[in-house]
Structure 1
Amino acid sequence: MKKKVSNNMYKKIKKSLIEYIISNRLFMSYVLISVISMVLVRKNTVGIFKSPFPFLTDLGIILVVGAIGYFIKPQKQYKYFFIWVCIFALIGLVNSIYYVFYTSFASFGELATLSQTETVTGSIWEKFRWNYLVFILLPLLFHLIHKKLSDSSYYNFLNCVEKGKKMALSTLIVGIFCLSISFAFAKKSDFSRLNKQWNRLYIVERFGAILYQGNDLLQTLRPKISSLFGYEDALRAFNEYFASEENQKYKEDNKYTGIANGYNLIFVHMESMEDFAMDLTFNGKEVTPNLNKLSKEGMFFSNFYPEVSTGTSSDTEFTLLSSLMPVASGTVFVSYYDRNYNTIAKILSNNNYYTFSMHGNLSSMWNRNKAHPSLGYQGMYFEESFQYTQDDVINLGINDKLFFKQAITIIEGIENEHQNYMGTIITLSNHSPFIFQDKYGEFDLSDTFVNSNGETVTTNYLSGTAVGNYLTSVHYADSALGDFLTYINESSAFDNTIFVFYGDHDAKLTRKEKNYLYNYNKENGSVYEEGNENYTQYDSFKHELNKKTPLIMWTKNSKLKNTLKGEVKYYMGMIDVAPTILNMLGYKNEYALGHDIFNIKNNNVVAFPNGNFLSSVMYYNNSTGEYYVINDSTVIDDNYVDKTKESVEKMLEVSNSIIVYDLLNKKESSND
């Protein structure tokens, strides 16, 4: 009897399932194709199988959105579902490509910067993978299914059998159930990260790509209506942060206070210049001989890390001058350029310095023509200020050699007209995609060695690789830098000037590409793997630590030269530059989030926009909760990790609020 009942129940369920599929073929196709898009975007980025929750969240949203389609007449449902299939496929395609460049996810706040994003527009085809075409084929597949259903009188059949409200309700219930499971297992910190939005990787790993993108849209619209909500809480947190005892620490004077008072200041922004290139030689020749010489003559900060987000170069320009972090969504230069910022340029211009910026590209690139005046630059010398032909262009603008040659003349003129000045010179030739090998000049990357058979063999294994192309480009940029230093030393000007050379960000080389450099087996052309005695450890933590860039202070002034000399090994971020430099000049920025490195020393914490952080003892990955101990003899206390993590999150939140809510402007207004 029980067996008969069981068989009948099975047949009934089977019949109901078949009937559901037959009468919901279009909807089922919409769900399946949309889910495939979301699974693929995770496969291309953070990985599929880390957790079921992003799948449940994506599925829940797809079902909730799909439920609305049941309120539409069957003949018109296709258009509704097709729009959403295209939206989900577009989310997958854009983020898959975006992840290759930034190891992050796209933001609506950055749509306005697409024409500014040189990295993407310059090398998108170089990075394009053919499996991305699936995102284009999926909407086409949905359209073909629709055509097939139309030919089979499917929609006429639905008019007779479909119960729209009932199907919408049941679908909505299932969708909400999926979302409820995902949210029920989420921690309080997960929702906090979702709200703050700055750890994009974690949000997608935990909540899926659809919820991330929807939440990002809300965050992008937030500045438009920021006065309607959140301001009071942001202002309270801002006041508490800067009044806190923790913030008042490390503010004292030190031996460098005022040593450069009255000196001129020139920043040399070195595009994509990474520190690791300084350690490399090929056939007895250094990749960066001029930079290496500079590091020995000046004050070299050997553990210096940019703190950029998706704004790359523009993030660095902003962070260095303001001692604030990049904004969580979008970029400051495009979305928040009209805010009030306390910058090096503004502080010095208020003290009778003439301030200027210089770049061999269009002033509209990264919206610099609007952002730079907002940061305090009084003069701007861009592409139109230089004489050149198309043959003088490398990649995106005037080649560095010609740029430096003409820049010297302009700066000499500025020195003749102004008693004091501060400027930023932004180089360009060493910009990705590093493919202009015919313009970089020759640099032999070959390696000669004696193999196990006693034969002398020459290999050029880096030729044509991403790292090889980058090193050739770096060598050219270094050569141009050498010319610039020659101009400075031969000029009668600049005796009262400090030059600060810094790499603006890493070159976006992948771990796999750099691992090829460190673990190539010259004997057989393979790559050493972990466990081999010749293997050089290069895991994800080593890769992050390897993204440091040079920071060198240098002067030809005989009085100051011996003071600005030597290696500084403290871990330092881009936001620490302004407090350190301003102290030397005899000024302060009371709203700096960074520190004078000579006060905080080994207690400094370098925070990154995604919530990762680096200290003298560890590197912490905020997405995984894992950390790497820099010194094996150090014992890490869990309380130290939690406390530092909390401090970093608070700082990021305050920084973002200063930008989004224009708190410095309102602070000044309230003090007037």
Structure 2
Amino acid sequence: MRNLLNKMPKPKAIWLKIKQTMDTSAPLVWFFVLNVVLVWFKTFVNYHMNFNLGADGATQQFLLFLNPLPTAIIFLSIALYFRGALSYWIAILFNFIQSLWLFANVLYYREFSDFLSMGILSSGSSTGNNLGKSIAAIIHWSDYMVFIDILILIGLVVFKQLTIDRKGVQRRFAILTTVLGVVLMFVDYGIASADRSGLLTRSFDNNYIVKYLGLNEYAVFNAVQTYNQTESRKRAKPADLTKVKQFVAGQKLPDNIQYYGTQKGKNVFMIHLESFQQFLIDYKVDGREVTPNLNQFYHDQNTLSFDNFYNQVGQGKTSDAEMMQENSLYGLATGSAMVKYGTNNTFEALPAILDQRGYTTAAFHGDVASFWNRDNTYKSFGYNYFFSKSYFPDADKPSYNVGYGLKDKIFLQDSARYLEQLPQPFYAKLITVTNHYPYDLDKENIDFPATTTGDNTVDGYVQTAHYLDQAFGELMTYLKKAGLYDNSVFVLYGDHYGISENHQPAIAQLLGKDKVTNYDLAQFQKVPFMIHATGLKGGVDHTYGGEIDMMPTLLDLLGIPDDGLTMFGQDMLSPKYQGVVPLRDGDWITPTYMKFNNQYFNTTTGEQVTLASDPNLKQLAKQTQNYVDQVLSNSDAVITGDLLRFDTARPDFHPVNKKSFDYKKSVGLANLKAAQKSNPSSVLAKNKGKSTMDQYQTDAPELKSATDSSNSSTESK
């Protein structure tokens, strides 16, 4: 055995052999080839280790093998146009750029199951600080391996372990190498197009683009998409809106006479349940309900609860949910519509509609006002007030915050100080944040067992959800005591998934399965949607719907005509509603069949079906896909073309004057104070100026500690 080991080539001998080969025959060419192989290898490995691209069959597997090569050759061939040490450093630079892009996408994909876009990168100023906290929590030491080869290559050049090719290569060879990369790119695209028609023209999931064309090609495609979106406003004309209006009119449904207008004139509480999935309802850990307060609310006889309700967000995540909830417009295929278009676009948003019908409109969020560009977008939506972090006392205390803003118990109690001052009727949107990744709470706030899947990202999820549930229960108790409960409509919705499909082993354990299928992952896109009001005829409704349908459904209950509104959702209470749910990536769900991650399933049984095996599916799939493509395309056109600026003929709605809103704390407080006299319909005004805050009870340990500290200080004096 020892003799055998002695006969094996030593690493140093191997390196000397490689070095000798590189030194004696075109050193720069060999250095170029080495870099190409390294970039290809780490990209291909990460395709399989960190991305869920769903490559099926020999063709897709071949494309996955091939697609890292074309851009690697093109970018690295730039080094061949130079001579001497500069050419080596250029090769290393382009290796680093591609590695950095790979590294960034690995981290982003791990949490969001999507790839970085130009829109997300450009929204860094509005999301960067908090996004950084999430990304920092999911980095694995192994992620840095993508840079190991670069360090080695730098060392070889710096310490002169490579012979620098002073002559370089002939210009013709460099050009031919670049052309080779371009040809391979077209070969890749040709094979991909044959396997998946309309790859670049339809609303495919970004996973498709990366799977078929490559990570670098996706970046170029996304940049072109972003540019086209920017240019679309310049090209837009009134005729474009006319076409959209025709489409919208064609899907308009009759109102439900049993529900229409039954909640007219009531206050509206829109409660945003951060990252809250439907499976949490009635879910138990160690025999204990995760969300007992929400469960009770969900099953209340006066609550309409939809158990087949899906999130439809894209890359904009929470901001996409808000765009749908406030406007019945989809988020964009890439980036955040609120960040890119919220400042300057014209909207026909729910806050503005209600404001023009006598409502006071207010949004509450325990984070900085600029997050997701809310401070500008909310003016475009028509909010009278925006109570952001600056409005809340002691909001900068580290112990009061978690991840993306104030802890929910503190946030909701502090919000009540302003709720009691809002003239009635009012529309108040409360955005909770504690149940947000990385699902981390301090020990003082945890009184619920974590799950035991072994996935650190997943196991704390039920604990933050339980905390949110407790905060919700405290708010409801206060509203009943303050006299706001019976005269209000409560709309609760989950904005998007909390546990991404990248945690499939943990998801399987949570669902009690050996493994999960794409059908299970589709079910995991369900989020709660509840509408509660005293006297409302409730019950668990099995109708299929999505976030795009929230606004028209609520307008039905409030008795507000929507004939002239450009909405892409439909009233889920309408007797003609059919329950087609488009997803942002072009997939869809209906009560009979669904398409998810490029597979078809029987919606009821979960059985996988194919277009060839099920004759009923073929025609339905064609019709449904055509509708989904149209609705997404038309919605995109409205946002990217700012088409609603052309909608000037509506007598019952006038465009929002954004300059009339100012969310600075001093201005907001002054307006609230003046409103107590000009419109004395608030709880505070009706209570003759006496606050109801003594009726708000919370067990938040931070507030108890602050009270104890204050009492101790008083006693010492």
User: Which residue of structure 2 aligns with residue 524 of structure 1?
Assistant: none
Q: Cα deviation per residue 1:483-503 (whole Å; 9 max; x = unaligned)?
A: 111111111234432111112
How big is the shift at 1:131? 2.5
- Structure 1 unaligned segments of length 5 or more: list them: 1-15, 446-459, 520-527, 531-537
| Whole-angstrom CA distance in 2 between matches of 1:464 and 1:329 | 29
- What are the residue-to-residue correspondences of 1:486-497 with 2, within 5 Å? 486-497=477-488
Residues 362, 384 of structure 2: 8 Å contact kept? yes
| Whole-angstrom CA distance in 2 between matches of 1:245 and 1:420 | 30
In the alignment, structure 1 residue 615 sits paired with structure 2 residue 621: no
In the alignment, structure 1 residue 383 sits paired with structure 2 residue 389: yes
Q: What is the TM-score of this pair, normalised by structure 1?
A: 0.84
Q: Cα deviation per residue 1:275-313 (whole Å; 9 max; x = unaligned)?
A: 212222345432111101111221111111121122222
Q: Cα deviation per residue 1:104-154 (whole Å; 9 max; x = unaligned)?
A: 111011113345167742332432223211222232233234446x55543
How big is the shift at 1:322? 0.8
Q: Cα deviation per residue 1:329-377 (whole Å; 9 max; x = unaligned)?
A: 2112211112112211121112222211011111122221112111221
Residues 56, 179 of structure 1: 8 Å contact kept? no
Instruction: Select the residue among 163, 167, 177 that pairs with 2:170.
Output: 163
Residues 41, 95 of structure 1: 8 Å contact kept? no
Residues 467, 517 of structure 1: 8 Å contact kept? no
Residues 357, 377 of structure 1: 8 Å contact kept? yes
How big is the shift at 1:98? 1.0
Give the percent of matched residue pairs that are identical in Structure 1 and Structure 2.
Answer: 23
| Whole-angstrom CA distance in 2 between matches of 1:476 and 1:22 | 62
Structure 1 pair 619–213 and aligned structure 2 pair: CA distance change class (3 A): same
One-letter code aligned to 1:668: T
One-letter code aligned to 1:167: F
User: Which residue of structure 2 aligns with residue 349 of structure 1?
Assistant: 355
| Whole-angstrom CA distance in 2 between matches of 1:435 and 1:122 | 11
- What are the residue-to-residue correspondences of 1:167-566 with 2, within 5 Å? 167-187=173-193, 190=196, 192-195=198-201, 199-227=205-233, 231=236, 239-244=242-247, 247-252=250-255, 254-297=257-300, 298-337=303-342, 338-388=344-394, 389-414=397-422, 418-444=423-449, 461=452, 465-509=456-500, 510-519=503-512, 529=514, 538-556=516-534, 561-563=535-537, 565-566=538-539
| Whole-angstrom CA distance in 1 between matches of 2:340 and 2:412 | 31
Instruction: Select the residue among 627, 643, 646 that pairs with 2:601.
Output: 627
User: Which residue of structure 2 aligns with residue 644 of structure 1?
Assistant: 624
Structure 1 pair 486–245 and aligned structure 2 pair: CA distance change class (3 A): closer
| Whole-angstrom CA distance in 2 between matches of 1:203 and 1:600 | 39
Residues 466, 513 of structure 1: 8 Å contact kept? no
Q: What is the TM-score of this pair, normalised by structure 2?
A: 0.79
SS in structure 1 of the partner of residue 362 of structure 2: strand
In the alignment, structure 1 residue 126 sits paired with structure 2 residue 125: no
Deviates more, 1:243-252 or 1:270-279: 243-252
Structure 1 pair 498–465 and aligned structure 2 pair: CA distance change class (3 A): same
Residues 326, 349 of structure 2: 8 Å contact kept? yes
Structure 1 pair 301–64 and aligned structure 2 pair: CA distance change class (3 A): same
| Whole-angstrom CA distance in 2 between matches of 1:626 and 1:113 | 35
Aligned length: 611
Residues 93, 135 of structure 1: 8 Å contact kept? yes
One-letter code aligned to 2:627: S
Residues 604, 616 of structure 1: 8 Å contact kept? yes
Q: Cα deviation per residue 1:529-572 (whole Å; 9 max; x = unaligned)?
A: 46xxxxxxx3232122123122111124xxxx243x11111011
Q: Cα deviation per residue 1:593-619 (whole Å; 9 max; x = unaligned)?
A: 000012266622111111121111122
Q: Cα deviation per residue 1:567-593 (whole Å; 9 max; x = unaligned)?
A: 111011000000110122122162100
SS in structure 2 of the partner of residue 212 of structure 1: helix
Residues 119, 432 of structure 1: 8 Å contact kept? no
One-letter code aligned to 1:307: Q
User: Which residue of structure 1 aligns with residue 556 of structure 2?
Assistant: 583
How big is the shift at 1:203? 0.5
| Whole-angstrom CA distance in 2 between matches of 1:362 and 1:342 | 25
SS in structure 2 of the partner of residue 668 of structure 1: coil
User: Which residue of structure 1 aligns with residue 105 of structure 2?
Assistant: 95
User: Which residue of structure 2 aligns with residue 65 of structure 1?
Assistant: 75
SS in structure 1 of the partner of residue 429 of structure 2: strand
Deviates more, 1:426-435 or 1:68-77: 68-77
How big is the shift at 1:73? 3.0
Structure 1 pair 146–295 and aligned structure 2 pair: CA distance change class (3 A): same
| Whole-angstrom CA distance in 2 between matches of 1:241 and 1:373 | 25
| Whole-angstrom CA distance in 1 between matches of 2:522 and 2:442 | 27
Deviates more, 1:26-35 or 1:109-118: 109-118
Residues 440, 472 of structure 1: 8 Å contact kept? no
| Whole-angstrom CA distance in 1 between matches of 2:182 and 2:23 | 24
Residues 607, 648 of structure 1: 8 Å contact kept? yes
Structure 1 pair 461–192 and aligned structure 2 pair: CA distance change class (3 A): closer
- Structure 2 unaligned segments of length 5 or more: list them: 1-20, 655-717
Deviates more, 1:600-609 or 1:481-490: 600-609
How big is the shift at 1:402? 2.3
SS in structure 1 of the partner of residue 335 of structure 2: coil
How big is the shift at 1:18? 11
Q: Cα deviation per residue 1:425-483 (whole Å; 9 max; x = unaligned)?
A: 111222221121414331246xxxxxxxxxxxxxx846885443111111111111111
Q: Cα deviation per residue 1:636-667 (whole Å; 9 max; x = unaligned)?
A: 42111122112111211111121111111134
| Whole-angstrom CA distance in 1 between matches of 2:314 and 2:412 | 28
How big is the shift at 1:508? 2.4
Structure 1 pair 189–328 and aligned structure 2 pair: CA distance change class (3 A): farther
| Whole-angstrom CA distance in 2 between matches of 1:327 and 1:427 | 23
One-letter code aligned to 2:89: K
How big is the shift at 1:96? 0.9
One-letter code aligned to 2:624: T
